[in-house]
Amino acid sequence: MNFSEVFKQSNQLCKVSPDGKYLATCVQYRLVVRDFNSLQIVHLYTFLDPVMHMEWSSDSLFILCAMYKRGLVQVWSLEQPDWHCKIDEGSIGLVSSRWSPDGRHILNTTEFSLRVTVWSLCTKSVSYIKYPKACQKGIDFTADGRYMALAERRECKDYISVFVCDDWHLLRHFESETQDLAGLEWSPNSCVLAVWDSCLEYKILLYSLDGRLLSSYSAYEWSLGIKSVAWSPSSQFLAIGSYDEKVRILNHITWKKITQFEHPATIINAKAVVFKEVEKRPVVGSEDLSIHQLTVDNSLFSTQSKYEITQLPAQVPVIKPDPDRANPKIGISALAFSAGNHYLATKNDNMPQNLWVWDMQRLSLLAVLEQTAPVRCFVWDPHRPRLALCTGNTKVYLWSPVGCVSVNVPVEGMDPVSPLCINKQLCYWSK
């Protein structure tokens, strides 16, 4: 694997454009845009305050930078470097900013979730949406970009509004059968809206585009409920991760559970492969300790690692959560389907050093990756069945159906790295 030189960044703001042609990084008061293939600087912009959020438009022609402390948003054009747009929310404040799917409207959420302001770059018009709910995921767009679902809170009740993104008129408005709505997400085929309750109640609701309740699912009562939700790319499966350390899979025909994946402390499944990371520090002789190597070659003292296959049954490291603290580190916090719909990756918080990979065709456990440090994040390759993960050290780990590999990242000063995305190549940011 080949690596470029190290580029500076701030607040982990480093993003590849959707078309894969550009790489944008924020360094304090500057925005640097590079050509992704040559890594040469093509645009350089400056700001009054450090940027807190950065986002590309869907067509990669504009880039949005938000400065929440100032309540300010600036937009820059790559086609017309002299053109720029500045949006000032004033005293009402700003807590989040994002693009609409068409890349020509900006949605700003004010402090205390008083309203959502829709700004048009084409007509310079402004629209206001009242009563947005402050929750984990209160806004979501359909994959085709035609509709937006918004969670609302009025008179101590949850509501959902569906807007048409062309002119932002209200299409549907209905009450949600939730006690405290925590999030919503459209299916990839834009036909079904999944809505789930807070962690205090296990309930997930499936609505059609016109607001009809298609189905409701609850696995149990009187215990902490849903922690994560993920649609499969084909919309055939809905995976629900919960605090009981299980993943339940619903099908798209009857919306009933077809199977559940458990995360046991002892793996006995003979069809599963357990890959265990083993570290080894190289032995350095006196003849290797030259002044040049000590000052230049950091790899001389870097810890090498590789994967070994563990014999079954295998024990998985488990951390007992503290029952006296809020938000206990237990349950399925992350779910992700591969692009081809073939695999599902999961992470159980009280088994933080392990990543589980499931075969969705056989509906069984395929592989478990046991790391030497807790898994911080993971992401699937959008084109092939390949999974990248990081643990906050100077390595990135790759899994595919043929096996696992550990790759040392030559970062300056041996800073820890985290994978950002996979787009033709692997990109990283250093912490």
Task: Give the model's pLDDT for residue 257.
Answer: 97
- Token readout for 392 is 């906050």
- Token readout for 17 is 């454009």
User: Which of 429 and 40 is assigned the larger pLDDT?
Assistant: 40
Q: 336: which strand partners?
A: 345
Answer whether 234's CB lies under 8 Å from 188's CB.
Answer: yes
pLDDT > 90 fraction of the chain, expressed in percent and rounded:
77
Task: Give the model's pLDDT for residue 391.
Answer: 93
pLDDT in tens, 68-117: 999 999 999 999 988 999 999 988 999 999 999 999 999 999 998 899 99
pLDDT in tens, 204-247: 999 999 999 999 999 999 999 999 999 999 999 999 999 999 99
Task: Give the model's pLDDT for residue 15.
Answer: 92
pLDDT in tens, 365-397: 999 999 999 999 999 999 999 999 999 888 999
pLDDT of residue 168 exceeding 90, the answer is yes
pLDDT tier at 304 (50, 70, 90 boundaries)? confident
Could you tell me the pTM of the whole model? 0.89
- Give CA–CA dist 68/115, Å, rounded: 16
Task: Give the model's pLDDT for residue 2.
Answer: 73
